[in-house]
Amino acid sequence: MSKAKPNALLNSCPPFYRGEEVSSDVIDSPYFVGYEFKESLISVQQSII
Protein backbone atom coordinates (compact mmCIF):
# COMPACT_ATOMS: atom_id res chain seq x y z
CA MET A 1 0.00 0.00 0.00
CA SER A 2 3.00 2.28 0.30
CA LYS A 3 2.94 2.62 -3.51
CA ALA A 4 -0.82 3.18 -3.74
CA LYS A 5 -2.38 6.53 -4.55
CA PRO A 6 -3.39 8.66 -1.53
CA ASN A 7 -7.13 7.94 -1.97
CA ALA A 8 -6.74 4.19 -2.50
CA LEU A 9 -8.90 1.77 -0.50
CA LEU A 10 -8.48 -1.90 0.27
CA ASN A 11 -11.60 -4.00 0.57
CA SER A 12 -10.34 -7.52 1.10
CA CYS A 13 -12.57 -10.52 0.39
CA PRO A 14 -13.35 -12.56 3.49
CA PRO A 15 -12.12 -14.64 5.06
CA PHE A 16 -8.79 -12.92 5.51
CA TYR A 17 -6.31 -13.38 8.31
CA ARG A 18 -4.27 -10.63 9.91
CA GLY A 19 -0.62 -11.09 8.99
CA GLU A 20 -1.31 -13.69 6.29
CA GLU A 21 -3.46 -12.40 3.40
CA VAL A 22 -3.46 -8.83 4.73
CA SER A 23 -0.64 -7.41 6.82
CA SER A 24 -1.39 -5.90 10.22
CA ASP A 25 -0.02 -2.55 9.06
CA VAL A 26 -2.59 -2.32 6.27
CA ILE A 27 -5.53 -3.48 8.41
CA ASP A 28 -4.73 -0.75 10.94
CA SER A 29 -4.28 1.91 8.23
CA PRO A 30 -6.93 4.23 6.77
CA TYR A 31 -6.64 2.28 3.49
CA PHE A 32 -8.56 -0.67 4.90
CA VAL A 33 -12.36 -0.43 4.70
CA GLY A 34 -13.18 -4.12 4.93
CA TYR A 35 -15.07 -4.15 8.22
CA GLU A 36 -17.39 -1.23 7.46
CA PHE A 37 -18.22 -2.57 4.02
CA LYS A 38 -18.90 -6.09 5.29
CA GLU A 39 -21.32 -4.83 7.95
CA SER A 40 -23.57 -3.25 5.34
CA LEU A 41 -23.18 -6.20 2.98
CA ILE A 42 -24.63 -8.61 5.54
CA SER A 43 -27.87 -6.61 5.72
CA VAL A 44 -28.19 -6.63 1.94
CA GLN A 45 -27.55 -10.38 1.76
CA GLN A 46 -30.13 -11.09 4.46
CA SER A 47 -32.71 -8.95 2.65
CA ILE A 48 -32.18 -10.90 -0.55
CA ILE A 49 -32.56 -14.25 1.21
pLDDT in tens, 7-43: 888 877 777 788 888 888 888 888 888 766 667 777 7
36 is a domain residue: yes
pLDDT of the residue at 36: 66
pTM above 0.95, yes or no: no
- Determine contact, residues 23/1, Cβ cutoff 8 Å: no
Residue positions counted in the chain: 49
| Higher local confidence (pLDDT), 46 or 13 | 46
Residue 2 covered by a domain = no
Distances in Å between the Cα of 46 and the Cα atoms of 27, 39, 40, 41, 49 are: 26, 11, 10, 9, 5
Write a three-state SS string for 1-49: CCCCCCCCCECCCCCCCECCCECHHHHCCCCECHHHHHHHHHHHHHHHC
How many domains would you assign to the chain? 1
Predicted pLDDT of residue 33: 81
For residue 24, being part of any structural domain is answered with: yes
